[in-house]
A and B are shown apart, each in its own frame.
Chain A
Amino acid sequence: MTHEIDRRHFLKMSSTVLAAAPAVLATGPAALAAGAAQPASDKQGAPFVSTHRMLDLPKARGPRLVIIGGGTSGLTIAKYAKKAYPKFDVVLVEKRCMYSSCFASNLWYPGIIDLEFLADHSFLDAAHNSDYIYVNATCIGLDRASRTVATNEGDIKYDFLVIAPGISYDYDKIGVHDIDTKVALRQTYPGGFICPTEHVTIHRKVRQFEGGVFIQTVPSGNYRCLPAPYERACLIASVIKHNKLKGKVVVLDANPEITIKAPGFHAAFDELYKGIIEWHPTSAVTGVDVAQRTVHTEFDSYKFDDAAIYPNIRAATLIEELGLMAPPTKSNQKEANIDIRFYNLIGDEHVYVTGDSRPMPYSKSGNTSNSEGHYVAKVLAARAQGKDITWTSPQTLCYSMVDAFPKQAIWVDTYYGYDATKDAITGFKDTKVDNTRSEANGATYLEWAHGLYRDMFKA
């Protein structure tokens, strides 16, 4: 009991401390120990990295719109910017040569879907169907003065540039500063929130789990897909239950309460997975001993047989490398310094940053990036024609599968408000939620994902 009180007391204190802390964490001793040569803010104005040759592309037939990152955000913008302003000559630069979606990937672990569901979508078809060019290359540099973006395959001149590279992990924020542990965690206990190969590893872990303790961590901050770690805990637990294994999922949650759809997840934990899911609130990870398979929190240590360690997140490192980071007063996750309504870099209407690298407090989800992409496409079309545009909110509609046998889901659907007097996003608006799990919701979840794939890959 006293243990509980201590925690609550700690939390009360820490909420004020944490609000002020990120700036220090981002540039302080943690970053230096991680091998960063300089504080991150010195990156602004970094020298232009270039291949000193132009990438082989047909001559632009209109204003060239280059999009970096073919994830949810980049794919949506490439298609809809071309629709909104057909004169755009759109080039999508994506470092992967095989698509596989992050959203819905949890559903693969208990076998609700197969890998084809996530990956049977071609960048080539998307580009062909919507009349743009897909380039398989990695963005490495940017010179805004000459409007040139560099990739490993050559440089490209742009009229408008959208950078949508997603997120990177921030292990320093969970107390992991030494390179050896970072690499070991990335490789052996991946978070499963960025790269398809992480999903393949976690899939293997779940299928081969024969019992014992599986740890799933939930970070603090505005991490990618708020419900996804809880959803994953439920789905692993449903496999344990289905296969009658002697095992449990220990959820180490940095937050004092489940961050979204709490009644629906609590109901699943209590009614479906009693004795299988152990949820520990206010249990931020403070370090991991990989050799001992032990996760440390402020108050306890937890041994595990297998784990998915989801560290804190930040905007993709590309944002920092290109010198586009917002000051710590505006973003404690190294997100981009953009206008919160029109997405252009402050002071540069030719460069835009979208998707999970944005600093706005939107839920970092697929539906947010997709609906935001529809709007940003209109912003670009308006800007290319010297017109104004009215801000519209993105939509975050997010399903979570809480059971696999049978598949049952809950959902939340929300928009966001904007306060012109403060020039700030004010939080959720027009929110609807269904915390009662059902098979009908489970079926709709799959259709939700199919809808996004159609929107990104079909004409």
Chain B
Amino acid sequence: MDRRSFVKTCAGTAIAAACWRGHPALAAAMADHPPARLVNADGSPLKAADVTTTEALVFAYPYRGIPCFLINLGGRAAHPTALASPEDGDYTSPAGAGPHANLVACVAICMHQLSYPTPDYSAIRYAASGSPLTDAPGLIVCCTHGSVYDPATGAARVAGPAPNALLPARLAWDAESDGLIATGCVGDKFFARFFDAYKSDLIDRFGPGGYRQPVGETAVAIPLSRYSAAVSTC
């Protein structure tokens, strides 16, 4: 949904939180966070050249309990897109990073009913070669209730019950080392709701408060098929 139609939806049906709470649409929702260099499981820096096109990589950012997808769009370009989050306001999704400007990142938590990848299981994935839910390849699908997002347009909603786009994370590319650095994201208000919804699980996994801690200077990025023991196939 672009900004114009978002505003129209607000006026017509008053669904979005920005409208519910009487805020005018918030500007500049992309927030800077301490940078974190993406690294492989063995701690070596992840190179842009090594990011696969067949599935998403998962890394935590900006907090230990927030999973993000790193996606290589291959031959497709990333189009900066004007979007809005009901909680965190208006933003424009970042351009692609890397030598071919085809690397994008987004928060891997479904905006419908908050499914996200855990070490046991993920219902949400980047379906590089397509999925039963959609004919088109290269979309993010959440099998839980069938939401579909397009990573090439800021992970905007394409189909299904999700009310809005997956939230973006911003990447910088270091040409010299071919490294990738996460530098910011949209979602501080959303993260508070997510933490609240999963508090018991997150405490079990990260210890009290652990999920709210910043990731630190590096963030491990590994393919979803290794991050989660089982991944939905819808």
Q: Please say whether chains A and B are actual partners in one complex.
A: yes
Query: Which A positions have Cβ atoms within 8 angstroms of B?
Result: 83-86, 129, 367, 371, 374, 378, 381-382, 385, 387, 389-390, 395, 397, 411, 413, 432, 434, 438-441, 443-444, 447-448, 450-452, 454-455, 458-459
Question: Chain B contacts of A443 at CB under 8 A?
Answer: 121, 123, 230, 232
What is the minimal beta-carbon distance from B171 to any residue of chain A, in angstroms?
28
A-B contact number at CB 8 A? 90
B216 at the A interface (CB under 8 A): no
Q: List 21 A-B contacts (CB under 8 A).
A: A85-B20, A86-B21, A378-B13, A382-B14, A387-B12, A389-B13, A395-B161, A413-B146, A440-B231, A440-B232, A441-B233, A443-B230, A447-B143, A451-B112, A451-B113, A451-B145, A452-B113, A454-B113, A454-B197, A455-B113, A459-B197
Expressed in whole angstroms, the minimum distance between the Cβ of B230 and any Cβ of chain A is 5
Given the known A-B contacts A395-B161, A454-B114, are A447 and B21 also in contact in the complex, defined by CB atoms under 8 Å?
Answer: no
| Closest B residue to A440 using CB positions | B233
Chain B nearest Cβ from A76, distance in angstroms: 11
Residues 49-80 (chain B) with a chain A CB within 8 angstroms: none
- Residue in A closest to B11 when the chains form the complex, CB atoms: A387
Report the Cα distance A397→B193, complex, angstroms.
Answer: 25
Q: Min CB distance, B109 to chain A, in Å?
A: 11
- In contact, B15 and A367 (Cβ under 8 angstroms): no
* A202 to B114 Cα, complex, angstroms: 32
Question: Which 7 A/B pairs are nearest by Cβ-Cβ distance?
Answer: A451-B113, A458-B197, A440-B233, A447-B123, A444-B232, A444-B143, A455-B113
What's the dominant secondary structure at chain B's contact region? Answer: loop
Which residues does chain B contribute within 8 Å of A413, judged by CB atoms? 146
A381: which B residues are within 8 A, CB to CB?
13-15
Instruction: Return the chain A residue nearest B9 by Cβ.
Output: A378
Q: Determine the chain A residues whose CB is within 8 A of the CB of B232 once the complex forms.
A: 440-441, 443-444, 447
Check: B17 CB closer than 8 A to any chain A CB.
Answer: yes
Known contacts A84-B13, A397-B146; 17 further A-B pairs (Cβ under 8 A) = A83-B20, A385-B14, A387-B14, A390-B13, A395-B161, A438-B233, A440-B230, A441-B232, A441-B233, A444-B144, A447-B143, A447-B144, A450-B115, A452-B113, A458-B193, A458-B196, A459-B193
Q: Which residues of A contact B13 (CB under 8 A)?
A: 84, 378, 381-382, 387, 389-390
Band of interface residues on B:
20 to 34
Chain A residues closer than 8 Å to B123, beta-carbon distance? 443-444, 447
Q: A454-B114, A458-B197 are in contact. Are A434 and B21 (CB under 8 A)?
A: no
Q: Which of B12, B15, B196, B234 contacts A444 (CB 8 A)?
A: B234
Give B contacts to A, CB under 8 Å: 12-15, 17, 20-22, 112-115, 121, 123, 132-133, 143-146, 161, 193, 196-197, 230-234
The majority secondary structure among interface residues of chain A is helix
A84 and B14 within 8 A (CB): yes
With A and B bound together, what is the CA distance between A288 and B13 in angstroms?
51
Instruction: Give the CA-CA distance A452 to B230 in the complex, in Å.
Output: 21
CA distance A447 to B122 in the complex (A): 9
Q: Which of B15, B133, B197, B231 contacts A432 (CB 8 A)?
A: B133
Residue ID in chain A nearest B134 by CB atoms:
A432
Question: Is there contact, CB below 8 Å, between B20 and A451?
Answer: no
- Contact assessment for B144 and A378 in the assembled complex, using a CB-CB cutoff below 8 Å: no
B196: chain A residues at CB < 8 Å are 129, 458-459
Contacts A443-B121, A444-B234, A447-B115; A432 near B132 (Cβ below 8 A): yes
**Are B15 and A378 within 8 A (Cβ)?**
yes
Q: How far is the CA of A367 from the CA of B145 in the complex (A)?
A: 9
Complex: chain A residue closest to B229, CB-CB: A443
B3 CB → nearest A CB, Å: 20
Residue of B nearest to A453 (CB): B113
Most buried by B among A389, A395, A444: A444
Instruction: Give B205 Cβ to nearest chain A Cβ, in Å.
Output: 15
Q: How close is A445's CB to chain B, nearest CB, in angstroms? A: 9
In the complex, A367 Cα to B161 Cα: how many Å? 11
Q: Which residue of B lies closest to A83 (CB)?
A: B20
Residues from chain A with a CB closer than 8 A to the CB of B230 are 439-440, 443
Q: Give CA–CA (A143, B133) in the complex, Å.
A: 47
CB of B234 within 8 A of CB of A434, answer: yes
- Chain B residues lying within 8 Å of A367, measured Cβ to Cβ, are 145
- A219 to B197 alpha-carbon distance, docked (Å): 38
**Do B145 and A448 touch across chains, with their CB atoms under 8 A apart?**
yes
In the complex, how many angstroms separate the beta carbon of A220 from the nearest chain B beta carbon? 29
For A129, the chain B residues whose CB sits under 8 A away are 196
Bound together, the chains give a CA A411 to CA B143 distance in angstroms of 11
Report Cα–Cα, A447/B228, bound state, in Å: 14
Q: Name the residue of chain B whose CB is nearest to the CB of A129.
A: B196
Closest to B230 in A: A443
- Taken together as a complex, chains A and B put the C-alpha atoms of A372 and B111 apart, in Å, by 18
Bound form: Cα–Cα A438–B114 in Å:
23
Chain A residue with Cβ nearest B123: A447
Q: Contact between A447 and B12 (Cβ–Cβ < 8 Å)? A: no
How many Å lie between the Cα of A297 and that of B13 in the bound state?
Answer: 51
Q: Cβ of B144 and Cβ of A84 under 8 Å apart?
A: no
User: Given the complex of chains A and B, what is the CA–CA distance between A443 and B144 in angstroms?
Assistant: 10
| Residue of A with least CB distance to B113 | A451
